[in-house]
Amino acid sequence: MNLFRTTAAVLALTTGLLALPAQAEVVQQNTSGDPTYTLEAPKGYAMAGDLIIARPLLIAGTVIGAGLFLISLPFTALGGNVKEAGQALVVEPGMSAFVRCLGCTESGYKKD
């Protein structure tokens, strides 16, 4: 009978502990008051990683995209989709590199 009680107690405690993460609620607060951060309030390590790794890669992607856009310009002009090519190769990486807040994953800038 002692083994049964011990097993039941261990099972009840384990079930209770496993259910805790399912009930936990993640609330992200906008602590800065800046409307740019209304979607996200990034942590310091996210900002540092973005500054050191992501931004230089995005700037390089913007420069490479601009070069590819110039190379593809005759073909896109013949196809009639210069605007779409410029948007995909230059504008979108440029907005991610220069408009997005530091550490955020989405741009706070809304296009009209």
Q: Which comes out higher in pLDDT, residue 42 or 48? A: 48
Q: What is the 3-class SS of the chain, one letter each residue? A: CHHHHHHHHHHHHHHHHHHHHHHCCCCCCCCCCCHHHCCCCCCHHHHHHHHHHHHHHHHHHHHHHHHHHHHHHHHHHHHCCHHHHHHHHHHHHHHHHHCCCCCCCCCCCCCC
Over residues 46-104, the pLDDT tens digits come to 889 999 999 999 999 999 999 999 999 999 999 999 999 999 999 999 998 988 888 88
Annotated domain spans of the chain: 46-103
Give pLDDT, residue 112.
Answer: 47
